[in-house]
Amino acid sequence: MQKLNAKQATELALEVGRILLQSGSATNRVEKMMLKVCAGFGYPNTESFVTPTGIFISLNDTEGDISTSIKRIENRRIDLGKITRVSRLVNCLEEQDCPEGRTNMDARKFREELNQIDVEKTWPTWLLSLCGGATSGFFCLLFGGAWMEFAIAVFIGIVVSYGMKFLSRLSINNFLLNALAAALIVFIAKLLDLYIPYVRLDNIIIGGIMLLVPGLSITNAIRDTMSGDLVSGTARGMEALFITVGVVAGSGSMLKIWALWGF
């Protein structure tokens, strides 16, 4: 395997860590993948420390010099496809884990494939929104909704998915983003209730809100805590808590506003 200088190896490891962390990966996985990158390019004596918002890496070369770098992570979103592809790419640095036809992974090829993964969109927005609508609809059915309520929940899920995609481009924090999304769910449900009689709003609203439940954050918080990453586990747990508070605040405020209007 080609050996890079310390700066190049650190930059590659940080780029791998950035993509994984921004895509919603657990911090334990990010640390392991970064260490694999450094070891694969000739630096087995490397230490990494990852939090949900930052990456720290310290690399020791054969002459005893230490290269330390820090990278701040600001924007994060869930993209399990990127996590899988980056993990497979890093595993190709170890020949026994590399599928046939992808052996002899040099630094140039590794960087090219990594950049390609970073810029590619895994799924189009319309498909993600459609899946969001289906998720809302089937959760509505799961909680006892009828087919008319299912159709309304699907519509709300699609609108909210598009709305969250648009609002996320404005760099709005997660608390406000989820509060606005929850308020939008209640607003559309109450508005449609004025024109479509005999529907149960609770099933529709619950189906829509299930889109906003921070399931991955809760899972990663538990996973990080159980693996000994107490700082990351606590941070992700608090993130999930604040998202939940945002959902409750947004939906509760909109319900109160409609109640004040007499509906």
Taking only the tens place, the pLDDT of each residue in 94-151 is 765 565 555 557 788 889 999 999 988 778 888 989 999 999 999 999 998 889 999 9
Q: Name the residue among 123, 208, 125 with its Cα closest to residue 160.
A: 208
pTM comes to 0.82
Residue 98: predicted pLDDT: 61
Residue 19 scores a pLDDT above 90 = yes
Task: Break the chain into its structural domains and give their ranges.
Answer: 6-119, 125-260
Residue 193: predicted pLDDT: 86
In contact, 240 and 221? CB cutoff 8 Å = yes
Q: What is the mean pLDDT of residues 154-173?
A: 88
pLDDT in tens, 222-232: 988 888 888 88
What mean pLDDT is reported for the chain?
87
54-60 and 46-51 strand pairing: antiparallel
Residue 68: predicted pLDDT: 86
Measured CA angle at 216 (ends 186, 53), to 5 deg: 105
Please report, rounded to a whole number, the percentage of residues in the chain having pLDDT higher than 90: 48
